[in-house]
Amino acid sequence: MTEAELYDVYRGVYVPKHLHPPESLKYYEDFTFRPDDVLIVTYPKSGTTWLQEVVPLVLSGGDVASVRTVPNWDRVPWLEEHRAIVLNLEQRPSPRTFATHFHRDMMNESYSKVKPKVIYVMRNPKDVFTSSFHYYGMASYLVNPGTADEFLEKFLNGKIMFGSWFDHVKGWLNVKNEDHIFYISYEEMIQDLKGSVSRIGQFLGKSLSPEVVEKIADNCVFKNMKQNPMSNFSLVPAEFMDQKKSEFLRKGVAGDWKNLFTEAQTERFEAVYKDKMKDVTFKFAW
Ligand code: A3P
């Protein structure tokens, strides 16, 4: 199926119709944040699911009840997805935790006024591309990626769900004096999960003992999360996500792009990256 059949254009980016019908987008436009809400913000395939596991564990001081009993999409709902409307988010006790793939300039008025806590997760875009390439091949609500060359052009031109990786990252980095936003990368979490858990804890005002940090990190390592039916998307029907084609928790490593990219694709990617990121001073961990 084509982009025209599967996607709507919302605020200039493609959003898959199946997950984000107009009433869901309207719900998000009208949504009222609280100052102690915790919002996990990512470009897709950057580590959203990972943070949907880490953050509830940090907030609960390591209590695994919610990550063992509640699917990640209800535990930390996406505000732009259709389920947000039916989850009675207004009734949830503070601190509430949400996820979103929205760009900075798509956030609503309440966000700008209230400034809830944001954890912005970034990942090497070549790995985001690689993870997306496999994911688009198994998820029926997305347009089939075609060849890696074809998908590369779409990725570099932002013609995929939630638009351009470059615009997303630049938009979220380009904010002034916003200490309610905490930046972390997938690569930092791969390198030092315990240190990352502690830093997230500090940002959220939770002082965690070394034992609790250890317990959280152990719960959130790839091989353990992959076994958790509440987090590995095994509850999703195969006609929606066919995990026989590619698992959702696929490899969980940094640098898998090297197994996919040809030399020509690497050159093309890096040339576009250099141009689009030329004014960015942030030091990335990749
Ligand atoms: P790969 O496809 O490279 O394996 P998102 O949740 O934003 O859609 O991102 C999905 C990516 O995060 C997938 O990458 C998935 O395997 C990876 N991921 C999820 N949980 C992880 C974990 N505990 N450790 C490492 N990677 C994880």
* Nearest-CA residue for atom 20 of ligand 1: 50
Helix axis angle for 263-276 and 165-173, nearest 10°, is 30
CATH 1.10.10.10 is held by the domain 3-276? no
Four-residue CA torsion sign, 113, 83, 252, 53: positive
* ω into 237 cis (within 30 of 0): no
Q: Is the CB of 47 under 6 A from ligand 1?
A: yes
pLDDT for position 264: 98
How far does residue 186's CA lie from ligand 1's centre (Å)?
A: 9
How far does residue 113's CA lie from ligand 1's centre (Å)?
A: 32
* pLDDT digit string, tens, across residues 4-13: 999 999 999 9
Can you tell me the mean pLDDT for 253-272? 98
How far does residue 44's CA lie from ligand 1's centre (Å)?
A: 10
Q: Which of 250, 253, 260 to mutate to test the pocket of ligand 1 (most atoms within 8 A of CB)?
A: 250
pLDDT at 68 over 90: yes
Closest CA to 38 of 218, 216, 205, 282: 205
Q: Is the CB of 49 under 6 A from ligand 1?
A: yes
How far does residue 127's CA lie from ligand 1's centre (Å)?
A: 10
Percent of the chain as helix, strand, coil, to the nearest 5: 45, 10, 40
* pLDDT digit string, tens, across residues 130-166: 999 999 999 999 999 999 999 999 999 999 999 999 9
Band (pLDDT 50/70/90 cuts) for residue 185 is: very high
* pLDDT digit string, tens, across residues 83-117: 999 999 999 999 999 999 999 999 999 999 999 99
Strands (E), the chain: 7-10, 13-16, 38-42, 97-100, 117-122, 181-185
Q: Is the CB of 225 under 6 A from ligand 1?
A: yes
pLDDT at 177 over 90: no
Ligand 1 atom with the smallest distance to the CA of 49 is 6
Percent of the chain with pLDDT over 90: 99
Q: Is the CB of 246 under 6 A from ligand 1?
A: no
Tell if the pTM clears 0.85, that is, is over it.
yes
Backbone angles phi, psi at 13, to 5 degrees: -125, 155
* Nearest-CA residue for atom 22 of ligand 1: 222
pLDDT at 176 over 90: no
Q: Is 101 a catalytic residue?
A: yes
* Nearest-CA residue for atom 10 of ligand 1: 45
pLDDT at 125 over 90: yes
User: What are the boundaries of each domain within the chain?
Assistant: 3-276
